[in-house]
Chains A and B, each alone.
Chain A
Amino acid sequence: MKSEKLIIETPEKILFSYNIAEIGARTAAYLLDSLFQLLILIAFFLFGGLSLFSSDAFDKDQLLFYLAIIYILLFLFQWGYFVLFETVMNGKTPGKKICHLRVIRFDGDRLDFQSLVIRNLLRAADSIPFPYFNFLGGLITIINKQNRRLGDLAAGTIVVSDSLFQLKEPYFKTDLKNSEGKLFSRPDEKSRLSEKDLYILRRLINERSTMSNDSELRTAKLIVEKLKKKYDLSHVENKNDFDIIEEIYKAHTYENQK
């Protein structure tokens, strides 16, 4: 079983969770980063090549010297790209930023440089047995419960999805148009619906106009049947399912004064 959440306990003894990044998003980020590496390299080739060929003193020796720089760049790119960006961008690379991913310490500690270097050096072990193809690394990431790569396991890091972009403020506005508030009075503490149930009712009310598909309506009907049983409303026949939901929801709300 894959686990979707990573629970972190802060020094303040507060628990909160991060959504663990999915393999699809990580693959996309990796491909994007590879693309960026390639583009920067091509840009260098073009820029360097043009300036070489345009100069009069072009010779074979200069070309080889130029190849030497390309080799070194290739090498620096292969090993430095991820460490550099993850350090500067606090756990992100350009590809990760686009895919809303981020590297964090799995214990919630501050990210440190050493962890980042270790996690990226171990990319060498990912590409076994074929060079430049992350066969073993991919396999282990897929098997791992938390989608952690070999480098993540060694360095104590994990990739999570960045949640600021999905931060939605709770939405409470409900349009209770058909309820009269007469069906039944406010339930006592024991028979109250939980806030979680009310959340579901709220969503049903707000989405009633857009509900068209059968399975959605059937779910709504099931919920209403359960509610009817709970509140002994079997005698109510001539009312629409959603009207009953509205009545029950309304009975759970409080007036502003208290």
Chain B
Amino acid sequence: MKTRSERFVEQKRSDWKKLLSILTCISQKGSQKLTEEEVEEFPRLYRKTCQDLAEARMLELSPDVLDYLNNMTGQAHHYLYFMRPLTKGDLKNFFSSYLPGVIVRNYKYVLFALLLFWGSTIATYNAVLQSPQLAESFLSSSVLHYVEEMYSDSVADGRTTGERAQMSAFYIQHNTSIAFLCFATGIFLGLGSIYFLIYNGVFLGTIVAYLTSVGLGPHIWEFITAHSFLELNAIAIAGAAGIKLGVSILQSWRNYSPDFLQDSKGEILALVGASSIMLFLAAMIEGNISPSTLDYKYKVIIFLISTLVVLLYFIVLPLFQRRKNDADS
């Protein structure tokens, strides 16, 4: 005494049971615990269940049968198409060729972000330097007083290792958060990144000009020189990643693609990665060297070395690799 659905289930259930036991095993103990036979059977059972689902739909069988097969297919699909694990080769390839080339490959975005950031910094700096009362319209007076207080003394000396480590750690956390925000808000069609690039530029320009106008110029230059190249350009590169994020979304709309980033994901992440690495190095310098009593000319040397390293790794190396590739092919 059976309905059609029941007869269908009775005919096919032995394969479903096998598939279910494989799925349960993977989800509870991991795929390594499967027997060799089960590993071989898995794809076949998956395809079989897919067929059964299609057939059950065609026969318009009972909803509980359809649900059961649907869920089983979904689970099997999920475990069959497991995430590809990262390999050592991926990592090596990323650092040796993919990452260094990212700035050159995306030079339009990087130049645009640099222009926005440094343009607003320099414009604000000049404006505030000419009429210092402007500073209060950009930043609240409490922020200005705080900064003035901070830089009232020349860089403090006699910091312990602990203090330096603590400052470096704080700068890693603080600056990377700023960079990530600058990047992530690029999801609003790039507008968020543009806003934060200009905002950070105005902030920086105002503070440096304000301190210069109250006569503390040498103090701030002494502090920021060593890490400035790495830190400030890293923020701009994070912004470039955000702008690329926004532009990629616009492009996907033009192509009617529901997948917003498609192929640009890797490029965007490499830009964020480049920014993070530079920020990490900057934080190390900012915590240990910038506040030290080291002679100013050594800080300038560090500034020059960091600039040179960045240019070599991100500009010269990829151009060299490209020329070599062209020559090879």
A interface residues with partner B (beta carbon < 8 Å) = 8, 10, 12, 14, 16-18, 60-72, 74-75, 79, 87, 90-91, 102, 104, 106-115, 117-118, 121-125, 128, 150, 153-156, 163-164, 166-172, 176, 194-196, 198-199, 202, 250, 252-256
Quote the shortest CB–CB distance from A135 to chain B (angstroms).
14
B77 touches A108 (CB 8 A): yes
> Which B residues have a C-beta under 8 Å from some C-beta of A?
1-7, 9, 13, 16, 20, 23-24, 27, 47, 50-51, 53-54, 59-65, 68, 70-75, 77-78, 81-84, 86, 160-163, 165-166, 168-170, 172-173, 176-177, 180-181, 183-185, 187-188, 192, 245, 249, 258-261, 265-266, 268-269, 272
Contact call B169/A69, Cβ cutoff below 8 A: yes
How far apart are the CA atoms of A72 and B167 in the complex, in Å? Answer: 11
CB distance from A190 to the nearest CB of B (A): 15
A155 CB to closest chain B CB (Å) equals 7
Residue contacts A-B, CB under 8 angstroms, 27 given: A14-B53, A16-B53, A65-B166, A67-B166, A67-B169, A72-B172, A75-B173, A104-B78, A106-B259, A107-B258, A110-B84, A112-B84, A113-B84, A113-B86, A121-B183, A124-B180, A154-B260, A167-B71, A168-B64, A169-B16, A172-B3, A195-B60, A195-B61, A198-B5, A198-B62, A254-B1, A255-B1
Q: How far is the CA of A41 from the CA of B227 in the complex (A)?
A: 30
Chain B residues with CB under 8 A of A66 = 162
Using CB atoms, name the residue of chain A closest to B245: A154
A147 to chain B, nearest CB (A): 16
- Contact check, A16 vs B74: say whether CB atoms are below 8 A apart: yes
Instruction: Tell me which residues across on chain B come within 8 A of A68, comparing CB atoms.
Output: 162, 165-166, 168-170
Contact B74 A17 (CB under 8 A): yes
Q: Is the CB of B83 within 8 A of A14?
A: no
Which residue of the partner chain A has the closest CB to B72? A167
CB–CB B50/A164 < 8 A: no
- Nearest opposing residue in chain B for A107, CB measure: B259
B187 touches A150 (CB 8 A): yes
Smallest Cβ distance from B265 to chain A, in angstroms? 5
- A111–B165 CA distance with the chains assembled, in angstroms: 38
Question: Quick one: given A64-B166, A125-B187, are A110 and B81 in contact (CB under 8 Å)?
Answer: yes
Contact of B162 among A8, A65, A74 (CB under 8 A): A65
Chain A residues near B170: list those with CB within 8 A. Answer: 68, 71
From B75, B81, B176, B187, give the contact of A167 (CB < 8 A): B75
- A172's partner among B9, B24, B86, B163 (CB-CB below 8 A) is B9
Q: Which listed residue, B2, B180, B249, touches A256 by the CB 8 Å rule?
A: B2
Evaluate contact between A118 and B261: CB separation under 8 angstroms: yes
Contacts of A102 in B (CB 8 A): 78
A75 neighbours in B (Cβ, 8 Å): 169, 172-173, 176
With A14-B50, A154-B260 already in contact, the answer to whether A125 and B192 are too (CB < 8 A) is yes
Is the beta-carbon distance between A198 and B65 smaller than 8 angstroms? no
- Choose among B7, B160, B169 the residue that contacts A61 (Cβ–Cβ < 8 A): B160
Bound Cα distance A29, B85 (Å): 25
Contact B245–A163 (Cβ < 8 Å): no
Q: Closest approach, in angstroms, between the C-beta of A209 and any C-beta of chain B?
A: 20
B179–chain A nearest beta-carbon distance, Å:
9
Contact check, A172 vs B5: say whether CB atoms are below 8 A apart: yes
B residues near A125, Cβ cutoff 8 Å: 181, 184-185, 187-188, 192
Q: Which of A70, A172, A250 gathers the greatest number of chain B CB atoms within 10 Å?
A: A172
Closest chain A residue to B188, Cβ basis: A125
When distances are taken between beta carbons in the complex, the residues of chain A under 8 Å from B183 are 121, 124
Residues of A within 8 A of B71 (CB): 163-164, 166-167
Question: Is A17 touching B70 in the complex (CB atoms < 8 A)?
Answer: yes
Complex: A62 Cα to B177 Cα, angstroms: 26
Which residues of B are found within 8 Å of A155, using beta-carbon distances? 261, 265
Cα separation A71 to B168 with both chains bound (whole Å): 9
Find A18's partner among B74, B160, B185 (CB 8 Å cutoff): B74
Give the docked Cα–Cα distance between A124 and B187 (Å). 11
User: In the docked arrangement, what's the CA distance between A102 and B83, Å?
Assistant: 13
CB distance from B160 to the nearest CB of A (A): 5
Q: CA separation between A108 and B50, bound complex, in Å?
A: 15
Most buried by A among B9, B47, B71, B188: B71
| Residues in chain B near residue A107, CB distance under 8 A | 258-259
Assembly CA distance A179 to B248 (angstroms): 66
Question: Is there contact, CB below 8 Å, between B162 and A63?
Answer: yes
B23 touches A164 (CB 8 A): yes
Which single member of B2, B83, B185, B249 contacts A254 (CB below 8 Å)?
A: B2
Closest to B268 in A: A118
**Known contacts A114-B265, A154-B249; A169 and B68 CB within 8 A of each other:** yes
Beyond A8-B77, A163-B74, 19 additional pairs, beta carbon < 8 A: A16-B77, A61-B160, A61-B161, A64-B165, A71-B166, A90-B82, A90-B83, A113-B83, A115-B265, A125-B192, A154-B261, A156-B258, A163-B75, A164-B23, A167-B68, A169-B16, A170-B6, A170-B9, A254-B1
